[in-house]
Amino acid sequence: MPTDNRRIQGPEVSTPYCLFRCSTENQGKIRSSSPDFPPVRKDGRALLEHRKIYVKTGVVSQAKGSAYIELNNTKVICSVFDPREIPNRVEYSQHGELYCVLKFAPFSCAMRRAHQQDSEEKELSLNLKRALEPAVCRHEFPNFQVDIYVLILESDGGTLAASITCAGLALADAHVPMYDLVTAASLGVVRGVLVKDPTEEEEKVCREELEGINQNHGLITVSLMGAHTQITQMWQTGSMTTTCVSESLTHLIQSCEEIYPIAQRCLVKSVVDTISKKKISEQ
């Protein structure tokens, strides 16, 4: 392994203490309860109930545009900077580019994350870019790129959906020309049961394939341009029948449409705030 001499290094091997926990009764409980999905969720939500959302724009003073989103324990912050010329590019590109970097904070997950970007983060960055691209008027800034940085402060399921919504808001806050606002939602399927906006624990159950039972399981994330009802990106993993997928899709579009007015109101509020601040400073 290459050593990183730009950071302070701990010992070469260190293991999370949770692996050595010895309270046996607790461990048994988790194992026995995880395969069958409880009809009532741990946080008391109904199966098709989305978590409460908190969004705020203009959180980073140094960035052109920024946003923060919170879905209970999932916390994501995003900032967007002024377009700049694409570095090290010889040929002229007709469309502007979105440069997305998504990063998990080292303390954001149950297991500690490395400082370098790993493959999962790369994949999520790419998905984020694909979800946002159709909504941005890229022909308006040819040969330029807009930097979008997303940092996941705490991850508890639905990180990609939260990142997309957050980045969409940050782009709007940065006055980047867009056709529409992008909102996203996630849904999990386990044993043919649809679960909206799963938490990390529920996502883990959805990912597992149960032995012997060939039933629908998996996760879907969909991002939508609300005013046009056009899907910008859809990401499905696991195995599902086509009817299950189309049923999930209707539910997901519904949740995206529910999130849309929340995002809109947040933007309206930030505009009103800026205008009133300007008035005060002019007086």
Partner 1 sequence: MAAQYKTIHPAKYYRDFLAHDLRPDGRAPDKTRTVTVNVNSISTADGSATVRIGNTTVICGVKAELGKPKADEPECGFMVPNVELPPLCSPLFRPGPPSEEAQAMTCFVSKATSEMVDLKELCVSVDNLAWVLHIDMICLDYDGCVQDACLIALSAALRTVKLPKVEYDAETKAPSVFLEERTDLSIKSSPVSTSFAVFDDEIILSDPTGEEESLSSAKLSVVTDGEVIFSVHKPGGSTLSETQLQDCMSIAKDRANLVNELITVALSPVDR
List residues binding partner 1 (CB under 8 A): 4, 6-11, 13-18, 20-23, 26, 59-63, 73, 75, 77-79, 81-82, 101, 103, 105-110, 112, 115, 147, 149-151, 153-156
The CB-of-76 to partner 1 minimum distance in angstroms stands at 11
d(CA 253, CA 111): 32
- Please answer whether residues 130 and 170 qualify as being in contact, where contact means their C-beta atoms are separated by less than 8 angstroms: no
CB of 23 to partner 1, least distance (A): 6
Angle between helices 119-132 and 159-173 (to 10 degrees): 50
| Residue of 200, 187, 256, 238 whose CA lies nearest to 42 | 200
Between 163 and 255, name the residue whose CB sits nearer to partner 1.
163
Q: Which is nearer to partner 1, 16 or 35 (CB)?
A: 16
**Closest separation between CB of residue 125 and partner 1, Å?**
10
Nearer to partner 1 (CB atom), residue 36 or residue 43: 43
CB 108 within 8 A of CB 154: yes
**Minimum distance between the CB of residue 210 and partner 1, rounded to whole angstroms?**
27
Residue closer to partner 1 by CB (options 23, 283) is 23
In eight-state DSSP terms, residue 37 is: P
Neighbours of 117 (CB within 10 A): 15
Q: Are 253 and 229 in contact (CB under 8 A)?
A: yes
